[in-house]
Amino acid sequence: MILHPIAAAFGVVSVIFGLLAHMRGFAGTALTTCFASFAATFSLLAFVFDIAVFVIAKQRIESSSVGGSAMLGPAVWMTLAAMVLFGLSGCFFGVSRFLSQSTKESG
């Protein structure tokens, strides 16, 4: 699926902008939050499509004359964990941006 590499690319860009946010002139931008939110969105879409494809495949496998079974593997749950972590990182980046602006105004 193409959604997994897209989410990973947005995650990498978010990490790079997160590291750059420690620089003095770059701290006030919202790019890190934006890219983390995109990564969380694409991870959520990838998770939903993973579950949908699994359910369809499981029904076809179990209804075939050959027989067989299907079980969810760890990759689906890793996608869910990535979505949660990207969402949390976006929230943390947003809070740190808000706090950095409030300290600039008061100091």
Q: Which domain holds residue 88?
A: 3-23+31-65+73-100
Does 54 map to a domain?
yes
H-state helical runs in 31-73: 31-63
Decide: 3 and 44 in contact? Cβ < 8 Å: no
Q: What value, to the nearest 5°, has the Cα angle with vertex 25 and ends 91 and 92?
A: 10
Whole-structure pTM over 0.85, yes or no? no
Does 84 map to a domain?
yes
Does 53 map to a domain?
yes
Predicted pLDDT of residue 50: 93
Does 37 map to a domain?
yes
Predicted pLDDT of residue 65: 84
Predicted pLDDT of residue 84: 93
Does 87 map to a domain?
yes
Q: Kindly give the confidence (pLDDT) of every residue in the chain, 107 residues in length, as a single tens digit, with 9 standing for 90 and above.
A: 788 999 999 989 988 888 887 776 665 567 888 888 899 999 999 999 999 999 999 999 888 888 788 889 998 999 999 999 998 988 887 787 777 766 666 65
Does 19 map to a domain?
yes
- The total number of structural domains in the chain stands at 1
Does 106 map to a domain?
no
Decide: 105 and 66 in contact? Cβ < 8 Å: no
Number of continuous H segments (helices) and E segments (strands) in the chain:
3, 0
Predicted pLDDT of residue 44: 93
Does 40 map to a domain?
yes
Predicted pLDDT of residue 93: 79
